[in-house]
Amino acid sequence: MSRDNSPYDPLNSADARLAVFRLLMDDHQRLKNGFHEFAYLSVPEREEIGPLLMEEMCDLLEIYAAVEEDIFYPAVRAYLSEPGLVDEGVIEHLTLRVLVAELRDISSRQLGQCDAVFSVLGEYVRQHIHKEMNRMFTQLRQTGPDWMQMLAAMEERREELETQLEAEQRYTTNGNTFILFESDTSKTVLH
């Protein structure tokens, strides 16, 4: 995901810090919007587009959590007055991953159970975002790592994960989820 259209000057550390925060806040907003949209779907809409929206949110959560855990958290831990926030964030991501795995394991015939798990996932995401925005980001306003280096690493990791996701196509048949991995020379199906 290139930031060529960004209003930030990547050569300026303060702008790079803002760009790092914007990258994460954009994910926060997309997640909140997705859970909000799902909450207002009618029952027929939930049956029709609910599974697609759930899958999109699960994919976004996995990318978001990986970028934070791989790049953001290790880089900012030393600059936080509450470094335990990083540990809490990692544990929150673990909880989110458990719920995402549960969602992906539930048959599409169990719509009510999907709705319940997705609603709980949405609550956890909102709490995680609130803590991150109000405690972690606040502590990083005046200090932090090499923001320019972190921004580049985060964008590179996100692009790598998005490319991997595009190469991995999930599909469901008779309540069974299959994952298709494609390369230039072969296709592999995992069940």
> What is the percentage of the chain residues whose pLDDT exceeds 90?
62
pLDDT given at position 151: 95
Q: Is 0.75 topped by the overall pTM?
A: yes
Assigned CATH for 13-190: 1.20.120
Three-class SS state of 91? helix
For residue 51, name the pLDDT band (cuts at 50, 70, 90). confident
Element (H, E) at 189: strand 187-190
What residues have CB less than 8 Å from 92, skipping those under 6 apart? Answer: 124, 127, 128, 131
> Taken in order 159, 55, 39, 96, is the CA torsion positive or negative?
negative
Q: Residue 45, Cβ neighbours under 10 Å: how many?
A: 13
Structural domain boundaries in the chain: 13-190
* Rounded mean pLDDT, 136-155: 93
